Structure formats: C-alpha cells, structure tokens
Amino acid sequence: MNPKYKIIWTNVAENDLTEIIEYISMDSPQNALKILKKIKQEASNLYTLPERGRIVTELQDQGILQYRELIIPPWRLIYRIAERKIYALSVIDSRRNVEDILLKRLVQKI
C-alpha cells in the first residue's frame, strides 16, 4: 500500500490558481470551473504518488533537485515533498519563461 501524503497549497500557488481561473472566467466561466477541477484533481493524485512529477528542468540544470513539477497542459504545478507533505508552490503557464518567473519571485522575497 502506498503511503499517503498531505497536500498543502501555499499562498503563492493559491494566488496563481486564482489568477488563472479569473482570467479564463472572463471568457468562459464553465471552462474556468472545468480547468480548476482538473488542476485540483491532478494535484490531489500526488497524495499517493508524490514522485510522479519530474524534477523542474530549469532548476535541475542549476543543481537544484528538491523541486518537482506536474505538467497539466499548459500549466506547470511546481511542488516540493517534505516529511509526508507535498507543498504546492506555484502554478505557472508553461508558455511563459519559468526561469524569469521564479527569479522574480525569489528576488521579491529578499
């Protein structure tokens, strides 16, 4: 039997998801709801298989291996596993430059 993990959505990830859904809902509230359900469902599947996501390629190139991502086209759910918990850190549009987004967020924290 697979161990179960708790999924914790950070404020940043929740804000990312809110922005995505609000933007889509301007054109189609039904589609926005469908996408919200899909992203939340895919994320909830991590509770039994947390390592199914790949290591974030852009970070792996820099030797940073603790962050994984789940691809839910066209979005990337970036998360980290720690002590039976999965921290959803960001939901980023894969059509944008992920390195720039992550760098901007890190610089804002300093």
Domain with 24, as residue range(s), is 6-109
Residue 39 domain flag: yes
Closest CA to 35 of 16, 57, 9: 16
Confidence of residue 60 (pLDDT cuts 50, 70, 90): confident
Instruction: Give residue-wise pLDDT tens across range 37-46.
Output: 999 999 999 9
- Alpha-carbon separation of residue 11 from 2, 5, 60, 65 (angstroms): 28, 19, 24, 22
| Domain presence at residue 1 | no
- Give the global pTM: 0.85
CATH number of the domain encompassing residue 44: 3.30.2310.20
Assess if residue 14 is contained within a domain.
yes
In a domain? residue 68: yes
- Name 50's bridge partners: none
Number of domains in the chain: 1
